[in-house]
Amino acid sequence: MQLRKADSRRISSGRTRVLAAIAAGLVLPLAGGTVVAVASAAPAVHAAPAAAAPAPTQAPSGAVVSSVNWLSDRRVALWVDSPSMATPIQVQMLLARDWNKDPQAVFPSVWMLDGLRATDQESGWTAETDAESWFADKNVNVILPVGGQSSFYSDWADQDNGKNYQWETFLTKELPPILERDWRTNQTRAVAGLSMGGTAAMTLAARNPGFFKFAGSFSGILATTTLGMPQAIAYAMQDAGGFDATAMWGAPTSDAWAQHDPYVLAEKLKGTSLYVSSGSGLTGAYDQPSGIPGVSTNYAGMGLEILARLTSQTFATKLNKLGIPASINYRPSGTHSWPYWQFELKQAWPQMASALGVPADKPACTIAGGFADVHSGNNWLADCLTDSYAVTGGSAQDFRFGRIFSSNLGTFPVAGAIGGVYQGYKAADGILGLPTSGEIGVADGRGRFNSFQNGMIYWTPQTKAHAVRGAILGEWAAQGYEGGPLGYPAADEVQTPSKPGAVQGFEIGAMYYSEANGTHAVQGKIMDKYAGLGFENGALGFPKTSEISVKDGGRFNQFEGGNIYWSPATGAWAIENGPIFDAWKSVGYEGGRLGFVTSDQFPIDGGVQQNFQFGWITVKNGQAQIFP
């Protein structure tokens, strides 16, 4: 998240507007969509935040989206439970330029494939290049599969190294129905990739004729069965993650190798717009010279790019013999590295856009009125992507690095990770309503927030961005916001799974809400004990108070079914409502002769016992007895 300058003097006023709305009675949706007026004394039970797209149901392929995480207003991560791979697969999307402006539109897609050392955290295209900001003004949905190290995005013959790779099935059968039904993506597709991803782009396009309108290879290995190439690929896969190439396609002489060789499959690429590029391996503009003429310090990248050049030439010769047109780009220098692939993506875009039927260039847009005033003070938003357009209660305009919303509440920017969470709540159409502040730096120098009509979104580098709203926000505010005992929000608010209520995690505990008991914080060692007893589903139920101070630095929370006490000398222990608690109460709780609790209740012959600092209490035949 990009940190931005803000006037800290606005912190209290931004917070006050939100709390005033809570006190006056908010209009919030309950789970199931019913809308009710909610007074501060009886807040709604909050549902988990909804994604801006409809909640996905199971695809015809059996795949289902199990989780959605909005990373910015137009970058989202989906976790798709893949039946073929029997595991959740992360797919990130960069949404089309007009995604917000035209909510009924569907868009072509560009599928960007990673290299041999793909990680399970993020696509190299967003981690290593400017693809996210560069695609912002393109009217396509960009599909970024995450993971697949050394997989060649293919269906493997056997499991290996803890992976059950069935990438071709996932990409061509399981994922498309989800994108088309729930994420406004049509069947007009392009695919491009670097190195391993370049090989896979050509292979997938050839093995699935008509699935992609365009296929691009940047430094791909495009003749995988020529002399020595299976061995070179096997060595590279072993080096990148310890994978066995025979688990992928069997022995190098097996038919599966030929069935995944772009050179062998070249004839099946007829009708697909093709782009092929490679460097020469010599030192280029983005390399560090080694001191030897033409040789860079990227020795491995030099050798790999030479292989890419040789196999690309072999592949291009085959295309020429078959009369299949392609854009072939042999660069006079350059090694196997990300700056060159970023360059090639931009070179390939006009051809890709033509194949997809979208304009290559961004249309003109203007920034006027209040939008212009706010934009001039927030130049990090960069250029406009759209003109202003109507949203619920006001208007909005999209920029390369965020959005500006305007209403009778004012005109404010929302961006970055905070903008992502806001989008996950359906932005102006959702329960948070319109912004009532821009992004403001908190006085501690660590956090930032935007306030909205019905809540706030906070962000720190450690906790990421989370919304706080309703009764939980009211109690958190009463305790001092992030300066109080709980610190910053560290999780989204969710419904408690087995009982009506809600819970939200913070850095140092959690805030619980239930209609019967109100909203209360549980934290520290008391929270640890509560967790060990099953949270609200255990014998204690929901909290009835936040933490209360007692003698000798001790603390306790009262719950529906009892209390949890903690002191520095004794630790945290639960005492349930009943005869033992009543007997302890009769001698003055922790201030009496028994002191603090030092154990949970445990069985003894004929009854139960609980220990204290200076004695114990037993219950037999329903009668409590205090010792000594």
The pLDDT tens digits for 433-485 are 999 999 999 999 999 999 999 999 999 999 999 999 999 999 999 999 999 99
What per-residue confidence (pLDDT) applies to 60?
75
What per-residue confidence (pLDDT) applies to 38?
27
How confident is the model over 26-60, as pLDDT tens digits? 333 222 222 222 222 223 333 333 333 444 457 77
Average pLDDT over residues 180-184: 97
What per-residue confidence (pLDDT) applies to 590?
97
How confident is the model over 255-300, as pLDDT tens digits? 999 999 999 999 999 999 999 999 999 988 988 888 888 888 887 8
What per-residue confidence (pLDDT) applies to 197?
98
Give me the catalytic one of 61, 109, 123, 195.
195
How confident is the model over 325-337, as pLDDT tens digits? 999 999 999 999 9
**Is 466 a catalytic site residue?**
no
What per-residue confidence (pLDDT) applies to 43?
30
What per-residue confidence (pLDDT) applies to 435?
98
Average pLDDT over residues 572-601: 98
Give me the catalytic one of 122, 132, 174, 305.
305
Instruction: Answer for the pair 530, 505: CB distance below 8 angstroms, yes or no.
Output: no
Instruction: Answer for the pair 297, 287: CB distance below 8 angstroms, yes or no.
Output: yes
SS3 403: strand
What per-residue confidence (pLDDT) applies to 297?
85
What kind and span of H or E run contains 230?
A: helix 229-239
Long-range contacts of 434-437, Cβ-Cβ distance < 8 Å, separation of 24 or more: 434/392, 434/393, 434/394, 434/405, 434/407, 434/409, 435/405, 435/409, 435/410, 436/14, 436/17, 436/18, 436/409, 436/410, 436/412, 437/10, 437/13, 437/14, 437/17, 437/410, 437/412
pTM for this prediction = 0.88
**341: pLDDT confidence band, cut at 50, 70 and 90?**
very high
Instruction: Answer for the pair 263, 318: CB distance below 8 angstroms, yes or no.
Output: yes
- Cβ neighbours of 389 (radius 10 Å): 14
Give me the catalytic one of 260, 336, 375, 520.
336
**Is 174 a catalytic site residue?**
no
What per-residue confidence (pLDDT) applies to 291?
82
**Is 336 a catalytic site residue?**
yes
Distance, in Å, from the CA atom of 545 to the CA atom of 532, rounded to the nearest integer, reads 19
What's the whole-number average pLDDT of the chain? 91
Average pLDDT over residues 226-253: 95
In the structure encoding, which two tokens stand for residue 553, read together?
Answer: 């630095």
How many CA atoms lie within 13 Å of 530's alpha carbon, on the beta-carbon side? Answer: 31
Under 8 Å CB-to-CB from 270, ≥6 apart: which residues? 322, 324
What per-residue confidence (pLDDT) applies to 16?
53
What per-residue confidence (pLDDT) applies to 577?
98
How confident is the model over 74-110, as pLDDT tens digits? 999 999 999 999 999 999 999 999 999 999 999 999 9
Distance, in Å, from the CA atom of 621 to the CA atom of 509, rounded to the nearest integer, reads 39
What kind and span of H or E run contains 374?
A: helix 369-376
How confident is the model over 384-417, as pLDDT tens digits? 999 999 999 999 999 999 999 999 999 999 999 9
